[in-house]
Structure 1
Amino acid sequence: MTYPNYPKPLHVAGAPGPAEAVEADVVILAMDRAEETVAAIASARAQRGVTKHVWIVDQGSAEPNLARLADAVRGAPDATLVRLDRNHGVAGGRNRATALGAAPVVFALDNDAEFERADTLARAVAALREERDLAAIACRILVFATGEDDLSSWGYPAGLLAQSAGSFDAATFVGAGHAIRRADFAAAGGYDDALFFTWEEFDLALRFINLGRRIRYRGDIAVRHKVSPEARFAWGGTRWFHFVRNRLYIAMKHGTPPAALLPRFLAYTAKGARNGVLAQGLRAGPAALAMARAFRPAPGSEHLYGETPSARAYLARTDAAHRGGMAARIRREILSALPAAAPRR
């Protein structure tokens, strides 16, 4: 992949990079939450049965927290801590973290998550090796303390929740834990920095699908997530704005006319009003339109946008077929309360 010419980040601690080629790069974005991040780093470094390098990319931690991260990797031959010039969000941060390595598999782990087992990374690498048409492995996300499914991180139709321990082709993947084939990440152009956070995985997944690739959810490849309300963007801050803006923008840049998105925008408006975040959603519509008007595909990447007939069939089979009838969707997706982060136990 020819990455954008990102400025070289400041090396803080750990090795400058792997001494030799590895099978997987583990990328962890950090911004404060030092205790959880140190545990995530330890979990990644403890993975067995696969060669790997752990890249920790800090996007603005307070100095005491950055010092704790540095202590966690000081002298480590298999981990590197760098610091970016500012917070580039989830999408931009993952792009920059991925560009640091060269392994054929990139596993992104949230800094409040840990691998469920010592061989989880090896299993993800093996899964991508065995099924060559897979662009990504979507991991099962579990509540750290209980081992139950983290419903606040379920990114698939509710009709598939009964299969959470199994395996199925999916239309997206969840950011808390997933593995991506680097070659497909390159072919799809990486994440869209403009999204900052929310829906960035779905946007990339659509481009994978347009390339004729698959995404496979694997309930036997899991991470445990320390879900904590105080560490997440509150719906009353900017989260709903980004949620609505980004989803509308993604639809428009994939060819949906703005007028055709009016029912979706009205549904979001109704949901926002019901949940006390109406103003965020109303601001999101014009912002999405402005982003879509400014969007230009990189030369040679026009084929990644829109929906090919095969992509349309894939999305119908893996997503729409499991969402139920219109009445059920209105009740579940519009009239319901916004999901709250599960309490840390």
Structure 2
Amino acid sequence: MSLPAYPQPRHIAGAAGPPGPDYDADVIILALDRAEDTVAAIASARAQVGIDRHVWVADQGSRPENLALLAAAVEGAGDATLVQLDRNWGVAGGRNRATALGMGRCIFALDNDAEFAGPDTLAQAVRALEAEPDLAAIACRILIFSSGADDLSSWGYPPGLLPRSAECFDAVTFVGAGHAIRRSDFEAAGGYDDALFFCWEEFDFALRAINMGRRIRYRGDIAVRHKVSGERRFAWNGTRWYHFVRNRIYIGLKYGAGLPSLLPRFFAYQVKGAINGVLSQGLRAGPAALQLARAFRPTPEEAPLYRLSQAARNYLAKNDTAHRGGLPRRVRAELLAALPKAAAR
């Protein structure tokens, strides 16, 4: 597989292109307002040392005054570029288009409300990928910017592994706020699925990478600090829950799960949505997931990536299911986690 040939976005400021055909890493930052945080993220990326890298900022519709602030942050820079995409493609589509601009061997995605924990964080991530050739991606530890504590809203792994947040372990996904991907694996797996727009896009990519015989490695010693900005975020009473449910059911269908096997998960999501006052979002997500699945037509070349091999199933069982337990236990945990939120409301 390979990435599509995307239209060239409008160049706003900074370098006209990458530094050359062979360098260590591209740092990609998606922008949609949040100008102050994004400028800080750009500065953090440009301050990374001990590595050849280029910073790409892809704007997806910021207000003119905010776009001007971003342009000022990279004006005249030889190591950074600001472009504006033709529309808001979401996280999945935006990352695809930003990634396609570069040629670095590693792609580090940094949220625009996050910063590298230290000046050599990027170099650490690249060295980690180079040290283990079968790794497709490095998942960083995500810390709360203000306190340095673990950002529990960005913990995408089994709850039982949280006490090991400072350690390293194989995983079945990674968190978008800060992660590194080997470019050759990103391209071989076909990048992200634009249709997801937002939510679960990392898991969807990881499944294909795992099916290619690659690993995902959580590194608690490589961190980014996350501000968890509220501006322009999907609120749970907006569309976030809709995307969460729709995309997770769609991914199940993509990888061959039958509707009967997905119904317990779907019903559990409806109960959780009802408890938290967003039942209508979850109900709308079901038909939308079916519509996406019907429209999904992998080519013969792509189709094998969506049929999980026994080796991939064993990897998922060892590194995720074994830590979570069976479906009844997971459903119970989801519902119990929702109850305090309902009580608070």
TM-score by length of 1: 0.96
Rounded Cα–Cα distance in structure 2 between residues aligned with 1:98 and 1:231: 22
Match of 1:148 in 2: 149
Conservation of the 8 A alpha-carbon contact between 1:109 and 1:178? yes
Higher deviation after alignment, 138-147 or 318-327: 318-327
CA distance in 2, matches of 1:141, 1:297: 34
Q: Please report how far the alpha carbon of residue 329 of structure 1 lies from its aligned counterpart in structure 2 after TM superposition.
A: 2.6
Matched residue type, 1:173 = F
**Aligned residue runs from structure 1 range 249-328, under 5 A:** 249-324=250-325, 328=329
Identity over the aligned pairs, expressed in percent?
Answer: 70
2:46 aligned with 1:7: no
1:179 aligns with 2:180: yes
In the superposition, relative to structure 1, how do residues 260 and 325 fare at CA in structure 2: closer, same or farther (>3 Å)? Answer: closer
Q: Root-mean-square deviation (CA), in Å?
A: 1.5
Give 1:101's aligned amino acid. G
Give ranges in structure 1 of 5+ residues lacking alignment: 341-345
Question: Retained in 2: the 8 A contact 1:258–1:289?
Answer: no
Aligned to 1:86: 87
Could you report, residue by residue, the CA deviation over 1:174-215 in whole angstroms, capped at 9, with x for unpaired residues? Answer: 000000000000110000000000000000000000000000
The aligned runs of 1:63-142 (5 Å cut-off) are 63-142=64-143
- Deviation larger for 203-212 or 260-269: 260-269
**CA–CA distance in 2 between the matches of 1:94 and 1:241?**
21
**Cα deviation, residue 326, structure 1:** 5.7
Q: Deviation digits for residues 218-275 of structure 1, max 9, x if unmatched?
A: 0011000001334421111111010000000000010001122111111111111111
Residue 247 of structure 1 corresponds to which residue in structure 2?
248
Does the aligned pair in 1 maintain the 2:32–2:232 contact within 8 Å?
no
Determine the structure 2 residue equivalent to 1:62. Answer: 63
**SS at 2:100's partner residue?**
helix
CA distance in 2, matches of 1:230, 1:96: 23
CA–CA distance in 2 between the matches of 1:339 and 1:157?
19
Equivalent-residue separation in structure 2 for 1:52 and 1:129 (angstroms): 15
CA distance in 1, matches of 2:340, 2:59: 28
Q: 1:338 to 1:169 in 2, by over 3 A?
A: farther
* 2:291 match: secondary structure: helix
Which is worse superposed, 260-269 or 70-79?
Answer: 260-269
Contact 1:23 1:52 in 2 (8 A): yes
Alpha-carbon displacement from aligned partner over 1:145-181 (angstroms, at most 9, x marks no partner) = 1000000000000011011000000000000000000
2:152 maps to 1:167: no
Contact 2:96 2:191 in 1 (8 A): yes
Deviates more, 1:109-118 or 1:227-236: 227-236
Answer whether contact 2:2 2:188 (CA < 8 A) is retained. Answer: no
Q: Once the 2 structures are TM-superposed, how far is the Cα of residue 331 of structure 1 from its aligned partner?
A: 3.4
Distance 1:154 1:5, change over 3 A: same
Q: What is the aligned partner in structure 2 of residue 28 from structure 1?
A: 29
| TM-superposed deviation, 1:298 | 2.8
Residue 225 (structure 1) aligns with: 226
Residue 6 of structure 1: how far off its partner (Å): 1.1
Label 1:30 to 1:159 Cα distance change in 2 as closer, same or farther (>3 A). Answer: same
Point out the more displaced range, 260-269 or 57-66.
260-269
Q: 1:95 offset after TM fit, Å? A: 0.3
TM-score normalised by structure 2 residue count: 0.96
Unaligned runs of 5+ in 2: none
- Structure 2: how far apart are the matches of 1:328 and 1:276? 23
Letter in 2 for 1:150: D
Q: Within 1, Cα distance between the matches of 2:239 and 2:310?
A: 35
Q: Aligned to 1:100, what secondary structure does the other structure show?
A: coil
State the one-letter code of the partner of 1:200.
Answer: E
Secondary structure in 2 aligned to 1:208? helix
Higher alpha-carbon deviation: 292-301 or 146-155: 292-301
Distance 1:301 1:113 in 2: 34
The alpha carbon displacement at 1:17 in A equals: 1.7
Q: CA separation of 1:339/1:299 partners in 2, compared to 1, >3 Å: closer, same or farther?
A: farther
1:70, 1:201 → 2: CA distance?
29
d(CA) in 2 for partners of 1:140, 1:30: 22
Aligned length: 340
Preserved CA contact (<8 Å) 2:265 2:331: no
The letter for the 2-side match of 1:148 is A
